Structure 1
């Protein structure tokens, strides 16, 4: 690993309400730093099938949690960075429970972060019945759970690289984004992460 991740606190801020409206910078790291999601070539992240699955499941969080917005993100060989925004701390009704499915699929268009503005992808996803409170923890818990299940399927059915014990490290890094300057700096960091991969 040639790139140092920025110094962030992995322990949640004591007393902070992580269901509050706001912007949160999230980093998830693969167990044992295994490069499971692709490789960097000339400063460009080339996603393998597992990496494409990670990207897709991140985008689908908008369906499971209707009161969030997804901003800049990047899937790296052995970790993931993303900015998630909770837009309405009160409007949690309608959030979808992880793993539950309904007969009718819902087609939702969400922006592909990292591509030219205006491009979008149509995503079909089964809707779940029930209510889940939207917190940073519930969003990341859902993402880790879903991607782990999908990755296990890939190992069994598509011969993806196996991992030991768990896909992701147990904890995750988060940073509360408090102003526009911080948002711009973090967005630039995420956007430039592949190009800076081999810089010391």
Structure 2
């Protein structure tokens, strides 16, 4: 397909080609707001914790409700930031024990990472629309298959320390967040 459009209309996927994103495993995700706008709140300089806006609280509540809609998902680390969220999800379907290194196939997208995140994003957007709150998501998200416990521990530390790093970046005049 890249030859057909000469790489002009399609962003290459960062996904593992041979991996089934509906299989059991842990996934680290980052989802940004539209144009990285600060919809979710501000980070308190003294506590390095976010003070969520109404839509920020809705995003946290929607994240926590993921297992209500996808009972095979266990939630791990999560962090709301002013213009994005970080989270770790564990897909834990009882019928399979190990990650499935099978290529993704074209067809219905359900019970996989994409459908889980689509539901999360839709829940937040629906609330914003119903309550006339200006809000939007970027169309894509970043994901990473967590491959081992050392990587998981590094990701958890990154997520936990993200608000403190945000303060450091906001105090830097050359920061991308300004």
Q: TM-score, normalised by structure 2?
A: 0.76
Aligned structure 1 segments of 4 or more residues deviating by more than 6 angstroms: none
Q: How far apart are 1:14 and its partner, in Å?
A: 1.2
Q: How far apart are 1:199 and its partner, in Å?
A: 2.1
- Does residue 87 (structure 1) correspond to residue 92 (structure 2)? The answer is yes
Q: For 1:83-125, what per-residue CA distance to the aligned partner results, in whole angstroms no more than 9, with x for missing partners?
A: 000011648xxxxxxxxxxxxxxxxxxxxxxxxxxxxxxxxxx
Which residue pairs with 1:74 in the alignment? 79
Unpaired segments ≥5 residues, structure 2: 1-11, 97-108, 170-178
Unpaired segments ≥5 residues, structure 1: 1-8, 92-131
Q: For 1:42-75, what per-residue CA distance to the aligned partner results, in whole angstroms no more than 9, with x for missing partners?
A: 1211111111100000011111000110001011
Structure 1 residues 89 and 30, CA gap change in structure 2 (3 angstroms): farther
Which residue pairs with 1:197 in the alignment? 166
- Does residue 11 (structure 1) correspond to residue 1 (structure 2)? The answer is no
Q: Distance in 2 between matches of 1:74 and 1:188?
A: 11
Which residue pairs with 1:51 in the alignment? 56
Structure 1 residues 170 and 199, CA gap change in structure 2 (3 angstroms): same
**Larger gyration radius, structure 1 or structure 2:** 2
Matched positions, count:
144
Within 5 A, what are the aligned runs for 1:54-133?
A: 54-88=59-93, 90=95, 133=110
Contact 1:68 1:85 in 2 (8 A): yes
Q: Distance in 1 between matches of 2:94 and 2:21?
A: 9
- Structure number with the higher helix fraction is 2
Q: TM-score, normalised by structure 1?
A: 0.68
Q: Distance in 1 between matches of 2:35 and 2:13?
A: 17
Q: How far apart are 1:10 and its partner, in Å?
A: 6.1
Q: 2:120 aligns with which of 128, 133, 143?
A: 143
Which residue pairs with 1:104 in the alignment? none
- Structure number with the higher strand fraction is 1
